[in-house]
Amino acid sequence: MRRALLFLLVVLCGCGTNYYPNQQEQIVSLRPGDLEASGIAFITQSTVTGQEQEKQAIALTFADVLKRERPRLRVMTLAETLGAVNRAGLSDAYKRMYDDYRDTGLFSGEALKRIAAATGARYIAQIKLQGFKQDSKSRFGALGFRIVDTQIGDIRLTFQIWDAGEGTIAWEGLQEMRLSRDSVTDEPVMLTGLLERAAGDLIAKLP
């Protein structure tokens, strides 16, 4: 019994969280102070097949982190952007722009200008979730019982900021990340937790 308790103590003390990020970013034309001067609006996110229901969570998480990290920046959330687009009668144009982007990776310059005029923000934020996966592995066992699981979450996404005045990408970043957590419960690594970590890393790189 004493040996079993000692083993259990060692296992529990070894529990922890490991974080493995891989990040790339490119500054095209965005300069320090540009976002604060002109504001930014989030538009509908793109996701891989099977994750379409996560669009609202992606946009909300990034907007919340951006507001927290850049309190002087005027941020239009996705809900606010959609409301402004609807009020301006741009719903059909917005849908066409979004459909074209899925096929070409390009936003129409004219559509961007109309969205900027409706929202009052020159810069447009677009996120694409390219991959998300959850997994678990049993790491330790005693007397035939599972004691600790390693919960694993993988995410890959891109974050683009478009300059609506020029119709060009002003900044973009890529984040690949794996988070593994040893736990005595079956609770998986959640997408929202990965998104918040990825958002924080990418936003820290903005000019």
Strand segments, DSSP code E, in the chain are 17-27, 40-42, 46-47, 75-76, 123-142, 145-163, 168-183
Task: Look up the pTM and report it.
Answer: 0.82
Q: Is residue 93 situated within a structural domain?
A: yes
Mean pLDDT over the full length of the chain = 83
At 185, which amino acid appears?
Answer: T
Band the pLDDT of 80: cuts 50, 70, 90. Answer: very high
Would you say residue 167 has pLDDT above 60?
A: yes
Q: What's 159's domain CATH number?
A: 3.40.50
Among the listed residues 79, 98, 184, the one whose alpha carbon sits nearest the alpha carbon of residue 141: 184
164, 113 Cβ separation under 8 angstroms: yes
Q: Is residue 135 situated within a structural domain?
A: no
Q: Is residue 180 situated within a structural domain?
A: no
Would you say residue 2 has pLDDT above 60?
A: no
At 148, which amino acid appears?
Answer: V
Alpha-carbon distance 5 to 167, whole Å? Answer: 64
Number of folded domains that form the chain: 1
Burial call 3-34: b when 16+ CB within 10 Å, e when fewer: eeeeeeeebeeebeeeeeeeeeeeeeebeeeb
Tell me the residue range of the domain where 105 lies.
30-130+154-171+190-203
